[in-house]
Structures are given as C-alpha cells and as structure tokens.
Structure 1
Amino acid sequence: MRILAISGSLRQDSFNTRLLRALPPLAPEGMEIELFDGLGEVPLYNQDLDVEDPPEPVRRLRTAIAEADGLIIASPEYNGSIPGVLKNAIDWASRPMAKSALLAKCVVTMVATPGRALGRNALSDLGRVLHDCHAFVISGPWVHLNDAGAKMEDTEAEDGGTTTVLTDPMTRRIVDIQLNSLQQAVKDEAGRHAVVPLLPFIQPRT
C-alpha cells in the first residue's frame, strides 16, 4: 500500500515535514509512506492554465496523488487556517472535478505546531476542504502535535541523511491508530462513500 505524505509548510526545518519523516518506521506492515517534494513549485491556481496540458509541477502533483492508495497531509496553522500553498495545491488536485486526483481518496490529516493553542482551526478547515473535494477523511483522534520541538528528535539515518523520531508516547499511540485506520479504510474502499453525492453529476445519463 503506497501512501503519499504532503507537508503544508515549505520551511526547510518545518515541524510538519519532520513529523511526516517520522512516520515510515511507525507504519503498519504492508504500508509504504513517500514524502512529496515539490509543493513550492506548483504555480498559483489559474483556470487559464488548467488545460489539457497543465504546467509540469501540476501534472506531477496530480499524478503523485492519483497513483497513491491514500494520503497523509500535515499542516501548520497560519492566521487561524491552512497555509495558502496547501490550499493552492488542493485546488489544483481537485480539478477537473469528474477526474479529480482527490476523488474518493482516503486521507489522514495532522498538525504540528511549536505552540500550545494552535492547530485545531487548521485541522477543521483542512478536513472541510477535503470533504468538499469528495475525499474521505479519517476521523479523530487526530495527531495534533503541540510543543512539537520538544516531542521530536532528528537523528542520522542509515543512508547518512537525517530522519526524525517521535519521542512523545501519546503521539506515537495516536499515529498508530490513524495509520492503521487509514490502511483499513483503503482496504475497505471507504472513499467510495465520499463520492456518492457527486455521482449524479459525473455518471452519464441513461
């Protein structure tokens, strides 16, 4: 099972990107998690560019989402909501509606924040936006990693690079619940239920 992980932050040392890097060792057996790199290259959504041959970064984003069995999206909270770069990527991925890469896709949402009071609005808005794109969002308990700097550690990976380890036991437990729920939702094709309201519009009339 191939899961695509997308960080809503472009910052090099983003807490949300580090959170996603910590997930592969915690994934259930049979699940592979791949981190998407390239969100910052996606242009601002412009319907004039949304043609049969869209910009290459858009094609790459749509293909990566479409070919994944499920998604994990980790987002910071900016001014009480999700960052513009993430909303922009979702706007591109959700079109054209009838062939949207997000259509019926099972998604886990997460938030990592250095503070204690931020994150709930981002989780709520991200879930609502994905619901409107007819994706299936796994319900809580959500991974809401506050005081993130104290709950993660960067270590050297086997390949010489850098990886991240979640040190907070409760967060690790919720990650386990969410990833196992995502795996089961994909196996059960739970995303089909998210598409039901859209079917009258995308199915040919007989």
Structure 2
Amino acid sequence: MIKIVSICGSLRRNSFNKKLLEAIEQESKGKWDMTLAAIDNLPLFNEDLEMGGDPEEVTVFKKKLADADAILIVTPEYNSGIPGGLKNALDWASRPVKSSAFSNRPVAIAGATPGSAGTALSQMQLRQILVAMNANVLSGPKVLVGEVHKKLEADTKQINDLRTLDHLQSFIHSFTDFVEMYKKAE
C-alpha cells in the first residue's frame, strides 16, 4: 500500500476541498494509506523563527511529509490563486532547500470550487511553485472539480456525482502508477 500524505489548502472546517479529499480517500481504499498533514497551526514563515530552529508544529508537519511515499495537495482557488495558508506551508516545507520535503518527491494536485472553471488558475500557480521546489508533479489527469456544490449529496454533503467519482478513480490509478515508478527507482 502506498503512503500518501495529504495537505488541504482550505482551512474552513466544512470546505468543499475537505469533501473532495474525503472522496479521494474513500475511492483510494485498498491502494493508499492516507494521512493528513494539517497546516492550520503553522506559524507564518519567518527566517528569524527558522534561525532558532523550526517551531514544533513545523517539525511535525515536515516529518509527516518525509514519512510518506508521495504528497497530495487539494487546493481551493482564492482570487485566481492558492490560499495564503497553503503558500505558508509550502514555504516552511521548502526549507532548507537542500533537504526540502518536496525535492524529488511525487506530488499530485486536486481542487474543488463552486465556480464553473474548477481550480485551474490556483493549480497552475501551485504547479509553478512546486516546480521551483524541485517536486515531480503528476501532469494528469487533472482534478478540477467545478460547481462542486451541485455534486454533493443533500444529507451527508459527500460528493456523489458518478462522473466525478469515476474521474477520481482514473486520477488515483495514474498517481498510484506514478508513485510506484519512483519507489522502483529508489
């Protein structure tokens, strides 16, 4: 089983992206062992803090990333980009550069939004950041869940749109193959 650490870029308790992450976790049962690396308790990145050694929350966050075979980032789109909390987490994870938690690691991106275009712009920005961090980002299939509010079951608020769930299966299969390729190269 592949160990995946996930990062949810939304800090909102009942966010659409947390629902997407739950759907991915459900659809990947038997293939992935998923663990969440929370970002809501990370201090704002500041080199002055870093000079004294990483704060405990940052150390725990980086260890979760390092212990996994791969990383999955689920992000909303705010003002055509990624949320500040996610950027902050990536800044912490990228340090020190020579031992970045993302360097040479397989990473996948997904996102959900009520907008019709999905999270295309935030994912494009996130890909740019991850390339700068020397991460190996899965090129496709992309998971850009638009109009997510229309794809939720009324009572449970879980994603129940069959087309979306089928697409998640394709995504999970592709990322599994991508990660296995890296594991064989080790």
TM-score norm. by structure 1 comes to 0.82
Indicate the RMSD between aligned Cα atoms, in angstroms. 2.1
Change (3 A) 1:127 1:60: same
Q: Say whether the 8 Å CA contact 1:5–1:71 is kept in structure 2.
A: yes
Fraction of identical pairs, as percent: 35
Q: Distance in 2 between matches of 1:123 and 1:154?
A: 28
Gaps of 5+ in 1: 157-163, 193-206
Q: Distance in 1 between matches of 2:93 and 2:65?
A: 8
Q: Say whether the 8 Å CA contact 2:75–2:111 is kept in structure 1.
A: yes
Q: Say whether the 8 Å CA contact 1:127–1:137 is kept in structure 2.
A: yes
Runs ≥4 in structure 1, deviation > 6 angstroms? none
Q: How many residues align?
A: 184
Give the structure with higher Rg (CA). Answer: 1
Q: Residues 55-134 of structure 1: matches in 2 within 5 Å?
A: 55-134=55-134
Does 1:179 pair with 2:172?
Answer: yes
Q: Distance in 2 between matches of 1:169 and 1:140?
A: 19
Three-state SS of the structure 2 residue aligned to 1:166 is: coil
Gaps of 5+ in 2: none
Q: Say whether the 8 Å CA contact 2:117–2:144 is kept in structure 1.
A: no
Does 1:22 pair with 2:23?
Answer: yes
> Which amino acid is 1:5 matched to?
S
Does 1:138 pair with 2:138?
Answer: yes
Cα deviation for residue 28 of structure 1 reads 6.0
Cα deviation for residue 13 of structure 1 reads 1.0
Does 1:167 pair with 2:168?
Answer: no
Moved more, 146-155 or 181-190: 146-155
Q: Distance in 2 between matches of 1:52 and 1:184?
A: 40
Change (3 A) 1:68 1:153: farther
> Which amino acid is 1:119 matched to?
T
> Which amino acid is 1:73 matched to?
I
Three-state SS of the structure 2 residue aligned to 1:48 is: helix
Cα deviation for residue 43 of structure 1 reads 0.7
Change (3 A) 1:6 1:151: same
